Structure 1
Amino acid sequence: MKFSPLKTALAVAFFPAAVLAQESSVPSLEPIVVTASRTPQPISNVIGDITVIDSAQLKRETSPTLLDLFARTPGLQVYDSGGPQTVSGIYTRGANPQATLVMFNGLRINDTTAGSTFWNLINPALFNRIEIIRGAASGLYGSNAMGGVINLMTTPTETGPRDLSLIANIGGGSNGTFRTNAAISGATEKFDYYLAGAYATSEGFNASNTKNTYVYNPDRDGYNQASMTGSLGYTFAPGHRLGVNFLNAVSRNEFDAGNDPWSVQNAYGYSRQKAYSITSNNQISHWWESVVQLSYGKLHSDDRAYGSTFDSRTNFYSWQNNFSLDENQTLSVVYEHTKERAFNSNGLTQQKRHTNSIAALYKGDFDRHHIQANIRRDKVSGVKGSTTGGLTYAFDMTPEFQVGAGYSTGFRVGTFADMFSPLAWGFQGNPDLLPEKSRHVELNLRYNSNDTQASLTLFQTKYKDLINAYDCSTYPCSTSNVDKATIRGLSVDASQRLGYTTLSLGADFLNAKDDSTGKRLVRRANQIYRASISHEFERINLAADYLFVGHRYDDASNTKEKRLGGYGLVNLRTDYKVAKNFQIQASVNNVFNKKYAPAYGYNAQGTNFFLNLAYQH
């Protein structure tokens, strides 16, 4: 029988919906989502393709970064350069890593110099939830949100008093790895608080191989990572809360820089991320809420092998007004002002720019009909202004089944490196670079009951004026807006709870091509399959995960030499409750020691284990 990705996807998504649960479950509190509409709402009211990674999933994660967790998340593909401490990135629905906006409690933390995110600094133990939007969201959040948004959150969604909660972990594993973290949270009538800290160190493994001629070095490449975050709030009157958030993370990262006599041995670098914000939520009247945020972020990188450094700093000011038109309709009006500064040891011809933004968002629920519409105008200094927006609609066919459709546009402004790099080594930035633009459409079908969840999403994104970061068609090489691309995809995901057993299945099918050449975009796999099964005993939980990633190419020409082979990974984990508040957790990743390349010339970690002692009160 001929294989059909669409038929397979439909079967994977909706077979569990036809299976009757063996035992009824006790309904749990519905997750509250903020990022999808910039206001808190139950996840069942969200229109669009969103994933919430809750605190339970974050507590189980044994990696020092979020990449392994994201690799198992629908619609996301990840890569690194030989370990969690190396250069890495995320493709959201096939969009370039720079086209995913990453925020910490609403403050953007993407690097303004190169547009990347320093995932090596972000420990999963720091956060109590993560909200992921897939699809163009520039109409909500402006530049960089062409592919989607990832919001790392510590702020509470609950209101009212909460008992003190304490979580602590300490463990070790393969390659001399040691990790520990702790978090404390709670709330009184007036105060709420969340504080978390984490430390991780490892001797690492050899990051590169002989295919990477210029950097290969057979030594181990380890890391040291320390981080702290927190959220403090004071409710001085009903509906009036003042909150403070902070993030401070630092990492020492080893990498390969060659093995010749003149190469730097034991190369390493430092990176540091800081973010601070103050937010005032004020319920002016029963129909008007004012939200004011003042934020500051700083990212520093210091490369001790090549002697290069850079800093990027962002000041962000936001005033959002939420108007309740009636019990089923809301209107939000937003003004934002962003100041960016970049400093590079190689020099930049311009080091400052600012952005002024205004936006409006409408959301209405009319019985079985749900609609969300938004429009936004961004004016970046020295760059032509961009207007983006979106319109989504959902219809409840039954209390469990929902069908929806959406259209949105996106844009991304070139980075400081793209536009303002001085002439050096035959390359010069292009100050006349236009913003990238996108048009995105999607259709989705969802089923949700107490024990069964399933979703199917079809989408297409058209990109134009894509930034070619290294165009050498003329001298000197520079950046240009010559590229166009089309990305089409189908994503399915389903989970079924049968008594004490939970089964999850998922698949992503992606067709991401350069419109000019017909070649596949770099590092995008056409197919990804996910499966997991877990079972709860009285004191023991057992779980197994499987992830298959199809082959990719590491160059735009899709040459055979730089074809990255597909791979399948099996991971196992178990939790054993040894006492009321204590658990022993064990995990084995890449059980069958699969050899594969996350990027050309770089190695992935082989079979590895981690043993952890967890305390929760």
Structure 2
Amino acid sequence: MKRIASGPRARRWMLAPLSAAVPLGLGLAAPPAARAQSPLETVVVTASRLPQPLTEALPHTTVISREDIVRAQVPDLPSLLSREAGLQITSNGGLGTATSIFMRGAGSSQVLIMVDGMPMTKQDATGTVSIEQLMLDQVERVEIVRGNVSAIYGSGAVGGVIQIFTRRHEGPPRASVQLEAGSYGTSRASASIGGRQAATAWTLGASYLTTDGFSAIDAKKFATANPDDDGYRNRSLTLGLSHEVAAGHTLGLRAFSSQGRGEYDSGSSFDAPGDVHTRRSRLGSVQVQSDNRWTQAWESMLSLGEFRDRDINAQTGSFDFESDARTRTRALQWNNTVALAPRWQATAGVSRQYQRIDTDEYEKSRTVDALYAGISGTAGPHSVQVNLRHDDTEGVGSKSTYYLGYGFRLTERWKAIASASTAFNAPPLGYLYAPFFGNPDLRPEHARNQELGVQYAQGVHVLRITAFRARLRDQLVYDFATNRFENVARTRNRGVELSYSGRLGRTDLRASLTRQDPRDEETDQRLNRRAKTLASLAVSHELAGWRLGIDWRHTGERPDAAQTLSDYSVVDLTVRRSIGRRWSVFGRIENAGNTRYETAYGYRQAERSAYVGLQWQADL
């Protein structure tokens, strides 16, 4: 199982006024010449399976656009998500090391990750998707939906859903190339090309990253660990193709692949200083899809896809070993949308998943069948969203879930929102059947969630404040008393989260603040590695042709087993300038204050580092 991070004594930034005020997570704005997009123009699909303006989504939803990704300049998905409300990232060091994500206190196995509508489910004994292998060069946008949404997406959507959309090129054919180099012997290159010609749109992209890395392990805490630097490299590919075969009928193909290879540090007491740990990871998906408008009121989407995740871990030295775990998920989905009346829509569909795990020690598979339906719309000041779903997981049992959401427009700018929902998480095949510690009698985790919130939307400004209460029973944990997985824990979390994005003159702002209290109900202890306070503030300002950015992130203290990890704040700086119509130069300084911190006990994070790059792009 993976070990994941949260930090030691981190030097504090004297930013108490920001903590007392509403921290505005500084967004990395649109280009100087670009018009800020109104929230009414930002369309999301993950909150209900229906395209809708961001401000109409009842679940707390935020969007990270391609412009945001470009201006953030960070290479991987975990670094990008660490700036979002309710999300906490922990890792065992630098790029490519084992990483976990907590959303509203829910663990990685309780957060559903999707790519272009394809669920990424990992069936080994970690149950944790390898998000550290997802680079951003070929990502178009990311949609984040918080809270129980199993009634829309099924198992795993306890803390919420993160959906990644790969690059799409519309309009005239266009090409771009980007090069970057910096600290720790890091270099990065990416290229993409695509566009639309008549009824056909296509996209092709590739990226490569390599770094010498650094030694994350703290030798004072793990004296037997190897203190050498831990390098990493990643190769990623994306492909998109769609063709309108007739008016209202489109066939599409989407595929992505990410292959990572690197060394990592281990805190095992069985290690010797000369031992070398390596990891090879390969994950990707391929999906074919048919979008059809059968009538003016009825649209449907039929898709067939496969997701694969393979992890090979090896150690050479005093105790040689190699493990190889291969997850495969095939999914057939048929989704239908029907316009019932102006501003009212219904959705209904069926899906079947085939899940399989292959290791050197065991092979297991199962099917998951689901039937779902939903309705959403507005009438005067009232907004309603209702979703129902029934999942039948072979060998585990069936579960029905619901989402009930209501919004009331108080004024033209203010809206009150309330919701209640349930969710579940089926145990991965590795939890059930892994030799020695698997438990075939495990039950799914069950969760309930209630929310009250208020939203302000005006022009480019969107402010969302949400109070939430979540409870989970039958939590899946490794029980050291029985030396196997068990349903033993009951947890709860209560909190308030804030997200804001907007623009003031030439300055773009993006902010988040989370206050929560995730606890084990039986022991009343705070859940491991969960912080009570998370905050971010990002500012991006255009000045004399330069785009200057500053990003501040704060994580409060949190327990890590018998240890307490100190709170920390990190500041990143970015700069970008366009040279003519085709060229731009950029650079960033990560951890500008050189804060010493950990996100997992004994595993240090990177010190101050600097990177510079060059980009070329042009219409063909």
Q: TM-score, normalised by structure 1?
A: 0.91
Check whether the contact 2:423–2:446 (CA below 8 A) recurs between aligned residues: yes
State the Cα distance separating 1:93 from its structure 2 match: 0.9
Matched with 1:525 is 531
- AA aligned to 1:388 is T
Q: Which moved more, 1:578-587 or 1:379-388?
A: 578-587
Distance 1:280 1:413 in 2: 29
Matched with 1:293 is 303
| 2:179 aligned with 1:170 | yes
| 2:82 aligned with 1:82 | no
Distance 1:309 1:11 in 2: 49
Matched with 1:278 is 288
- AA aligned to 1:391 is L
Deviation track 1:176-228 (CA, whole Å, cap 9, x = no partner) reads 00001122232233111222211000000102112553762210001010000
Check whether the contact 2:306–2:329 (CA below 8 A) recurs between aligned residues: yes
Matched with 1:616 is 617
State the Cα distance separating 1:32 from its structure 2 match: 1.6
Check whether the contact 2:534–2:554 (CA below 8 A) recurs between aligned residues: yes
| 2:395 aligned with 1:389 | no
Distance 1:261 1:51 in 2: 43
- AA aligned to 1:122 is L
Alignment of 1:124-203 (within 5 A): 124-154=136-166, 162-203=171-212
Check whether the contact 1:288–1:323 (CA below 8 A) recurs between aligned residues: yes
- AA aligned to 1:355 is V
| 2:498 aligned with 1:489 | no
Check whether the contact 2:298–2:338 (CA below 8 A) recurs between aligned residues: yes
Q: TM-score, normalised by structure 2?
A: 0.91
Distance 1:261 1:398 in 2: 63
State the Cα distance separating 1:155 from its structure 2 match: 6.6
Alignment of 1:375-454 (within 5 A): 375-423=388-436, 428-454=437-463
Distance 1:218 1:64 in 2: 25
Matched with 2:240 is 231
After superposition, the Cα gap between the structure-2 partners of 1:84 and 1:77, relative to the gap in structure 1 and judged at 3 Å, is: same
State the Cα distance separating 1:165 from its structure 2 match: 2.8
State the Cα distance separating 1:230 from its structure 2 match: 2.0
Matched with 2:347 is 332
Unaligned 5+ runs, structure 2:
1-16, 27-33, 316-320
Check whether the contact 1:272–1:299 (CA below 8 A) recurs between aligned residues: yes
State the Cα distance separating 1:128 from its structure 2 match: 0.6
Deviation track 1:107-139 (CA, whole Å, cap 9, x = no partner) reads 112312131111232101111111111111100
Distance 1:175 1:211 in 2: 22
Deviation track 1:415-442 (CA, whole Å, cap 9, x = no partner) reads 122110112xxxx211010000000011
Unaligned 5+ runs, structure 1:
1-6, 17-23
Matched with 1:72 is 83
Distance 2:453 2:584 in 1: 39
Distance 1:496 1:321 in 2: 34
Matched with 2:29 is none
Matched with 1:97 is 108
After superposition, the Cα gap between the structure-2 partners of 1:196 and 1:61, relative to the gap in structure 1 and judged at 3 Å, is: farther
The one of 124, 128, 145 equivalent to 1:116 is: 128
State the Cα distance separating 1:10 from its structure 2 match: 10
Alignment of 1:304-323 (within 5 A): 304-305=314-315, 306-323=321-338
Check whether the contact 1:444–1:455 (CA below 8 A) recurs between aligned residues: yes
The one of 373, 376, 389 equivalent to 1:360 is: 373
The size of the alignment, in residue pairs, is 587
State the Cα distance separating 1:77 from its structure 2 match: 0.4
| 2:563 aligned with 1:572 | no
- AA aligned to 1:565 is S
Matched with 2:540 is 534
State the Cα distance separating 1:293 from its structure 2 match: 0.6
- AA aligned to 1:268 is T
After superposition, the Cα gap between the structure-2 partners of 1:219 and 1:479, relative to the gap in structure 1 and judged at 3 Å, is: same
Distance 1:178 1:336 in 2: 42
Matched with 1:20 is none
Give aligned-pair identity as a percent: 29
Matched with 1:601 is 602
Q: Which moved more, 1:562-571 or 1:495-504?
A: 495-504
After superposition, the Cα gap between the structure-2 partners of 1:15 and 1:341, relative to the gap in structure 1 and judged at 3 Å, is: closer
Matched with 2:386 is 373
- CA RMSD in angstroms, aligned pairs only: 2.3
Alignment of 1:501-516 (within 5 A): 501-516=507-522
Deviation track 1:262-310 (CA, whole Å, cap 9, x = no partner) reads 6663321211012000010111111211210100111111112131111
Check whether the contact 2:24–2:537 (CA below 8 A) recurs between aligned residues: no
State the Cα distance separating 1:15 from its structure 2 match: 14
- AA aligned to 1:516 is E
State the Cα distance separating 1:498 from its structure 2 match: 2.3
After superposition, the Cα gap between the structure-2 partners of 1:388 and 1:99, relative to the gap in structure 1 and judged at 3 Å, is: same
